[in-house]
Amino acid sequence: MIATGKWKTVFGALLLCGAAAAWAQDAAPAATAAAAEPTVSVEMFTTNNLWMMVATFLVFVMHLGFATVESGLTRAKNTVNILFKNTLIPAIGLLTYALVGFGLMYQGDWAIPGWLRLGGGVGTDAAGLTSAYNAGYTYWTDFLFQGMFAATAATIVSGAVAERVKLGSFLIFSTIYVAIGYPIAGSWVWGGGWLADLNFHDFAGSTLVHSVGGWGALAGALLLGPRLGKYVNGGIRPIMGHNMPMVVTGVFLLWLGWFGFNGGSVLSADAGAVSFVLVTTSLAAAAGIVTSMLTSWGIQKKPDLTMVLNGCLAGLVGITAGADCVSVPAAIAIGGIAGVLVVLAVMGFDKLKIDDPVGAISVHLVCGIWGTLAVGLFSSNPDFTLKTQALGVLAYGTFCFPLCLAIFAALKYTLGLRVSRAEEIGGLDVGEHGMEAYPDFQGFLTK
C-alpha cells in the first residue's frame, strides 16, 4: 500500500496532467466564432448577462448550503473535515473545469459526435466576444455558470461518504470525476450529443448534475461500508447529527441557491420564462416538504425534521429536469411524489445497510431519476417521451456508476479509502486535521 503522505503527490500530478491538457487545447488553432451577432439590444444583452451572473452567485451560495447541511447532520467530531471538503470542492471543480472540463463538455475544434467535446471554445478574448458569442451572455459568464454546476456534482458525493473516508482519497476522486466523468456525461445532452439528438430533456440537471453525483455517492458508500456502530446485531442504530439549526440554515440556503440553479438555466433574463421556472421550483419544494412530513409522521409516528428537510431538497431535485416544461399542478405533483420517495428511500437504504449520513443518495439519485422520468409523464412537449427519458437514466447509470466504482476501488487498493478504526472513533477533525470545530466544548487536543 502506498504511504498515506503520498496522496499529495498524486493529487498534484493529476492537476499537472489537467494543466497539460489545457495547454494542448490552447495550442490548437482558435475556433472561429460561428454564432451570429446578438439579435437583442445592448441593454437587453446586458440585462441577460447580469441575470446569468446573479444566478451564478446563487449557485455558488449552494456550496455553503451543502457544507452546513452535511456538517449539521454529522457528529461534532467530524465538522472540520466536512467543512474542509466542502471548501476544496468548489476550488477543484472550477480549476478542473477551466483546465479540461469545459473543453470536454462543449463542441470545440474537434469532436467525436455524441461523445467527447474537445478543443478550445468560441470567444476566448478578454472581452468575452460579447458581439459574437450569443444573445444571452458572454463566454466567460457561460464558463463560470457551468463551472459551478460541475462543482456541485462532486459536493453531492461528500455527504454520503462522510465520517469515514480518507481526505486525500476523496479529493483525488473528486478531481478525476469532475475533470473527466462529469463533462463527458454532460456532453451527451448539454454539449449537443447523442441524447440531445434523441430529444432527451434535462432542463437544469436532475440527471446531468444530481444523479451524476448520486451515482458517485452510491458507489462510495458501498465500497466504504457503514460507519462503526451503525448496524449492530441486525438492527439499525441511529447516529444523530450534532446541529439541527445548521441543517435548517443549509436547506434554506440551498433553496435560495436553486433560484439561480433553475432560474439561471433559462440562459437569459426572459421575464416570463424565468418567473415561471421560479414558481414551479418553489411549489415543488413546498410540496416535497408537506408530503415528506405526512409520510414520515405516518410511518415513524412522530414528525421527523431531517426527513422534512430532505423532502424540500427532494422536491427541488425532482423538478429540476422539467421546471420549464411542466404545468404548475404537475410541478406540485412532481415535488409531492419526490417527498414521499425520499422518505421511503432513506429507510430502504438503511434496511439494505447502505450507510448515507445525510441522505444524499435518496435525495439526489432517487429523486433525480424520478424528476427525469417525470418529464416524460408530465411535459407539455410531445417530443419529450418517457421512453427517451428512461433511456437517458439508464445511459447515465451505466456510465457513471461503474466509473465511480473503478475510481474508488483503485484508491481503496492503493492509497486506501477508509480511515483507521481509532481515527474514526476519535473523529476525523483531530485525526486528519489536528484541530477541533468546538474546542471550548470538545477539548480532545488539550487532554
The CATH number assigned to the domain holding 278 equals 1.10.3430.10
262 in any annotated domain: yes
Reported as half-sphere exposure (CB side, CA atoms, 13 A), residue 111 has a value of 22
CA 157: distance to chain centroid? 8
Residue 245 buriedness (CB in 10 A; 0-12 / 13-18 / 19+): exposed
134 in any annotated domain: yes
Residue 210 is predicted with a pLDDT of 97
What domain range includes position 148? Answer: 4-427
**Integer Cα distance of 163 and 427 in angstroms:** 8
Residue 266: partners with Cβ closer than 8 Å, 6 or more residues away: 273, 274, 277, 324
446 in any annotated domain: no
pLDDT tens per residue across all 447 residues of the chain: 344 444 444 344 444 344 433 333 333 222 223 333 457 788 898 999 999 999 999 999 999 999 999 999 999 999 999 999 999 999 999 999 988 888 888 855 444 554 454 444 444 444 444 445 677 788 889 889 999 999 888 899 999 999 999 999 999 999 999 999 999 999 999 988 999 999 999 999 999 999 999 999 999 999 999 999 999 988 999 999 999 999 999 999 999 999 999 999 999 999 999 999 999 999 999 999 999 999 999 999 999 999 999 999 999 999 999 999 999 999 999 999 999 999 999 999 999 999 999 999 999 999 999 999 999 999 989 999 999 999 999 999 999 999 999 999 999 999 999 999 999 999 999 999 999 999 877 665 555
Which grid coordinates are listed for 283?
411549489
Residue 153 is predicted with a pLDDT of 86
**Integer Cα distance of 78 and 221 in angstroms:** 17
Residue 103 is predicted with a pLDDT of 83
Is the pTM higher than 0.85? The answer reads: yes
447 in any annotated domain: no
433 in any annotated domain: no
Q: Which of 96, 277, 106 is nearest to 190 (CA)?
A: 106
Q: Which long-range contacts (CB under 8 A, 24 or more apart) does 345-350 make?
A: 346/307, 346/310, 347/299, 350/236
**Integer Cα distance of 13 and 172 in angstroms:** 10
444 in any annotated domain: no
Helix, strand, coil abundance in the chain, percent, nearest 5: 70, 0, 30
In the numeric block, the cell 494542448 is attached to 24
437 in any annotated domain: no
Say whether 8 sits in a helix, a strand or coil. helix
**Dihedral in degrees, nearest 10, Cα atoms 436, 437, 442, 447:** 20
As for how many domains the chain has, the answer is: 1
**Integer Cα distance of 220 and 89 in angstroms:** 16
438 in any annotated domain: no
